[in-house]
Chains A and B, each alone.
Chain A
């Protein structure tokens, strides 16, 4: 998709609806190759030691890639973090494709590429029966469907030779099982994701884990053969969609997202880093600020947030969410069309929440929520907002600390089974 096309599309959405769409786009967006440092191509040592704003420490090294918040190609994303990823046919160093507009998501696990952007032919994994391995990926609003293929994955100077990745929306696999369509709406296109791919770098090595290895679990993995109905199947851990970081030769125990701070009114764009490894290089030491808190998560990547006297045990930290989402029935909700899932208090309001890890360690977090409509209208071109708050229904037992949580700090995500100098994954530390 060319930049011209994308601007034309954005222009066709007039007035308030454009502002609404910007923020309502949700968690997935795209990046243009507007900043050379984010599109440096296919691996090799990455020296991304320039281009930061907001006073963040400059980082460089083969384990560092530039990560950028911007409006994405549709000119409507906010608080969405992107990197560039190169995938190759396994075993080849030339049959490769660099995909930009890849969203960094610390609340999922594994690389998922929208098939429409993939020009490579990646080999789909087959089970011993010869049938293809296809996945039904769960999303709150529905599902994605597509085969699990093998790819070499290069991000900055890090690489893995052969990693199971999902190809979402592959036209060769359209026989979606009833159990999968039973999850709701299909989410299978770039337009629906607002991204070319999702890079799931959360604290687990596989997207499902031991449960899907032990038995066939409906609405997860299936084998598909010809025109026959697909059948739910157990899948060994090594064949499940993998967090690519776990598969790297080095710097493979987790990631650090480091982003500059954002002023109250927001920022036009933001340039920071995705760093691979924790305590493996001079640039990824734990406790760099001297006050790092380590919160482990449970086997569902959740921790507990206490807010307004309520304990919310399904809470999470998530670079793939575009705001701070929580329920506070006393806070005014926006009325503008398309913004009714966001807060619009008359004045910016400050809150305090307590995060409690599965390890019992607590962290007190202050955050503020501004009037979403004002934020968008005052600076229509801005894409990074630290005070953006969204609503959760009152029945929800979750609090979602999205990308604004990451602004102005380093947040480490350690993968399960790995030990660093400050703890054992799965954990978040900041």
Chain B
């Protein structure tokens, strides 16, 4: 019961206009807020050094959130016909992402942001987009960034 209550609290907080509790860098409980926001279906998978929550959006796009043993989301990856709302998925890192994207070379088929605190890799074209955003300092040791898809 307390657990459900906490989830409900997280969900309500995440439905607010600020959506500040969402996504990257937030506790695992925030995933429920993302599921609600995206009206998705979630599947959880245990890996050796992290846990993934894979949210399938109605559009067919899949958003995968990677949770470290410490309980925080350290990466989000997306793939599908539509880009998900990254303000939701990147949470408090969204503004940093937009600022970096604005000064990146103009190229509508790729994006490659490499900051000390935030990495965003994205590629694709109309009907097919994929990308990953992760916090390099929070990736658990032993995890290859190539797994973050």
Q: A interface vs B, CB < 8 Å? A: 24-28, 107-109, 137-142, 178-179, 181-185, 187, 192, 194, 200, 202, 204, 207-209, 211, 215, 217-220, 299-302, 314, 316, 318, 320-321, 325, 338, 341, 390-398, 400, 402
Contact = CB atoms under 8 A, between A and B. Distances in A.
B85 A396 contact: no
Interface in B92-149: 94, 97-98, 101-102, 104-112, 121-132, 145-146, 148-149
B58 interface: yes
A182 B102 CA distance: 14
B88 interface: yes
Contact of A141 (B79, B101, B132): B101
A400 B130 contact: no
A301 B83 contact: no
B81 A211 contact: yes
A63 B8 CA distance: 61
A211 B131 contact: no
Contacts of A140: 83, 107-111, 122-125, 129, 131
B92 to A, nearest CB: 14
Contacts of A27: 107-109
Nearest to A312: B123
Given A140-B109, A183-B85, A302-B128, 10 more contacts: A108-B125, A140-B83, A141-B108, A208-B81, A218-B59, A320-B109, A341-B105, A341-B112, A390-B110, A393-B112
Interface string B70-83: 00000000011111
B129 A395 contact: no
B128 A394 contact: no
Given A184-B98, A217-B82, A301 B109 contact: no
Contacts of A217: 58-59, 82
B60 interface: yes
Question: Shortest 8 CB-CB distances between A and B: which pairs?
Answer: A182-B87, A182-B85, A393-B121, A26-B107, A24-B105, A300-B128, A107-B125, A108-B126
Nearest to A179: B85
A396 B121 contact: yes
A8 to B, nearest CB: 20
A331 B24 CA distance: 32
A181 B124 CA distance: 19
B124 A183 contact: no
A208 B58 CA distance: 14
6 contacts: A24-B105, A140-B108, A181-B87, A301-B125, A392-B110, A400-B109
Contacts of B146: 394-395
Contacts of B107: 24, 26-27, 140-141, 341, 390
A183 B133 CA distance: 13
A109 B121 CA distance: 24
Contacts of B106: 24-26, 28, 141, 192, 194
A299 B123 CA distance: 17
B124 A26 contact: no
Contacts of B124: 140, 314, 398
Contacts, number: 158
A142 B59 contact: no
Interface string B56-69: 00111000000000
B84 interface: yes
A314 B128 CA distance: 7
Contacts of B85: 178-179, 182-183, 218-219
B20 interface: no
B86 interface: yes
Contacts of B122: 140-141
B128 A316 contact: yes
A204 B127 contact: yes
B109 A138 contact: no
Contacts of B101: 141-142, 184-185
B112 A391 contact: yes
B93 to A, nearest CB: 12
A161 to B, nearest CB: 25
Contact of A395 (B97, B102, B145): B145
A27 B111 CA distance: 13
A340 B68 CA distance: 32
A26 B105 contact: yes
A400 B126 contact: no
B28 to A, nearest CB: 22
B82 A138 contact: yes
A137 B129 CA distance: 12
Contacts of A325: 109-110, 123
Nearest to B88: A182
Given A25-B106, A140-B131, A395-B149, A109 B81 contact: no
